[in-house]
């Protein structure tokens, strides 16, 4: 969902701005409103003269494209704690190369002493041993942060870890045996921290990155490639200039939840009910439309900060798309969904985006676009 891009040819149908007479004037009611979630600051970027050769590996090593997107965007958001967009430029990581990454994600062995996935003990291998020592490290993402002079002043790292691991073993006859194993919570966290510590030591001891602060995060990938929401960051650590190890870890509470879903209803029943009402009302107003409606909300510290909805209507023609766009804009204007967070709704025909409706809580305005 977060990959939606506005095409070059965009028809702006209308822009609705909340009228003053719709605002609550009663001071006691105003005090009860949730604070508006401010739009996040964006980094200015600088093109690297020596781009990393690892980028293509992310699609090979991480199966769910939602994880690929969240690794990038989530790491940028979390990095603002240490590298403010007002003071730093963002650049694609250029220090960790393909050789480093391939060594790390492969198993440790005599021929690969820098491997960060566990070594199979002894000289024998089997499916049982593969399951007993699952390789949870799948990718390491690097982002570089430059000061105003263009010099690297900080590095952020996202360590992608698979909690559910697909393993396989090929016997002497060439027969392939495969299975999956899910690592327990405690063992998963401990192994992730060990991998993170090893990455810091190699980055420092081998002088892979400059002697600048390193912000390192641990990320749990989605359990399946077909998951409708990405995985999530669960721990972080900061290693200052000159330091070669991690002093302490702290938790990260940033996670996407699907709509509709029982987990979201438990976490945030109010928004869950509003989504279900919108879905039902949409079907009532367009009874002949064969549609599906799903959403995902980003919760930070258990608070909803962003909501994105996809509505797929196969075969919808232009008049129907326009009618649906106007209807959804009206629903947002009438506070059918929470008005204190950014909202985007995409109307789609299978995989082609037909329209976009957005809500800006700071400006209290609605934008509608038809492609």
Is the Cβ–Cβ distance between 369 and 11 less than 8 Å? yes
pTM: 0.87
Is the Cβ–Cβ distance between 158 and 74 less than 8 Å? yes
What superfamily in CATH does domain 256-370 come from?
A: sex pheromone staph- cam373 precursor domain (3.10.570.10)
CATH of domain 55-252: 3.10.570.10
Helix (H, G, I), strand (E, B) or coil at 47: coil
Tens digit of pLDDT per residue, the chain (371 long)? 554 433 333 333 333 333 333 333 333 333 345 666 656 788 998 887 676 788 788 988 998 999 999 999 999 999 999 999 999 999 999 999 999 999 999 999 999 999 999 999 887 788 999 999 999 999 999 999 999 999 999 999 999 999 999 999 898 888 999 999 999 999 999 999 999 999 999 999 999 999 999 999 999 999 887 789 999 999 999 999 999 999 999 999 999 999 999 999 999 999 999 999 999 999 999 999 999 999 999 999 999 999 999 999 999 999 999 999 999 999 999 999 999 999 999 999 988 999 999 999 999 999 999 99
Is the Cβ–Cβ distance between 36 and 361 less than 8 Å? yes
Strand segments (E) across 128-225? 137-146, 152-161, 164-170, 176-182, 214-220
- Cα 361 off chain centre by: 22
Residue 338: what are its φ and ψ, rounded to 5°? -55, 135
Domains 55-252 and 256-370 share a fold: yes
Q: Which residues sit opposite 90 in a β-bridge? A: 45, 145
- Which pLDDT value is given to residue 59? 86
Sign for the pseudo-dihedral over CA of 106, 227, 263, 30: positive
The domain segmentation of the chain, as residue ranges, is 55-252, 256-370
Residue 247: what are its φ and ψ, rounded to 5°? -80, -45
- Which pLDDT value is given to residue 321? 96
The Cα 339–Cα 342 span in angstroms is 8
Q: Which of 89, 211, 72 is nearest to 145 (CA)?
A: 89
Is the Cβ–Cβ distance between 317 and 326 less than 8 Å? no
């Amino acid at each position: 969902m977060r990959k939606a891009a506005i095409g070059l040819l965009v028809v702006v149908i209308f822009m609705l701005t909340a009228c003053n007479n719709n605002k609550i004037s009663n001071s006691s009611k105003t005090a009860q409103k949730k604070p508006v979630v401010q739009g996040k600051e964006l980094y200015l970027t600088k093109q690297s003269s020596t781009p990393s050769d690892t980028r293509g590996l992310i699609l090979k090593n991480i199966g769910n494209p939602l994880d690929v997107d969240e690794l990038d965007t989530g790491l940028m958001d979390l990095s603002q704690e240490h590298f403010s967009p007002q003071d730093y430029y963002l650049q694609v990581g250029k220090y960790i190369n393909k050789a480093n990454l391939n060594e790390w994600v492969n198993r440790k062995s005599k021929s690969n002493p820098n491997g960060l996935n566990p070594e199979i003990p002894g000289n024998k291998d089997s499916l049982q041993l593969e399951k007993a020592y699952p390789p949870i490290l799948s990718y390491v993402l690097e982002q570089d942060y430059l000061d105003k002079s263009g010099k690297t002043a900080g590095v952020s790292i996202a360590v992608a870890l698979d909690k559910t691991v697909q393993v396989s073993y090929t016997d002497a006859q060439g027969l392939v045996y495969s299975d999956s194993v899910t690592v327990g919570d405690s063992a998963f966290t401990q192994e992730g921290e060990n991998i993170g510590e090893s990455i810091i030591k190699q980055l420092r001891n081998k002088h892979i990155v400059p002697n600048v602060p390193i912000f390192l995060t641990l990320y749990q990938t989605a359990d399946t490639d077909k998951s409708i929401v990405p995985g999530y960051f669960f721990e972080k650590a900061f290693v200052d200039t000159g330091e070669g190890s991690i002093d302490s870890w702290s938790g990260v509470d940033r996670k996407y939840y699907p709509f509709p879903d029982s987990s979201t209803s438990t976490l945030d029943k109010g928004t869950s009910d509003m989504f279900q009402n919108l879905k039902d009302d949409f079907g009532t107003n367009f009874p002949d439309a064969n549609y599906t409606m799903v959403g995902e909300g980003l919760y930070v510290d258990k608070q909803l900060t962003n909501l994105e909805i996809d509505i797929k209507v196969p075969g919808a023609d232009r008049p129907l798309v326009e009618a649906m766009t106007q209807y959804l804009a009206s629903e947002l204007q009438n506070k059918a969904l929470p008005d204190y967070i950014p909202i985007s709704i995409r109307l789609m025909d299978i995989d082609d985006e037909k329209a976009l409706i957005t809500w800006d809580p700071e400006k209290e305005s609605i934008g509608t676009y038809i492609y």
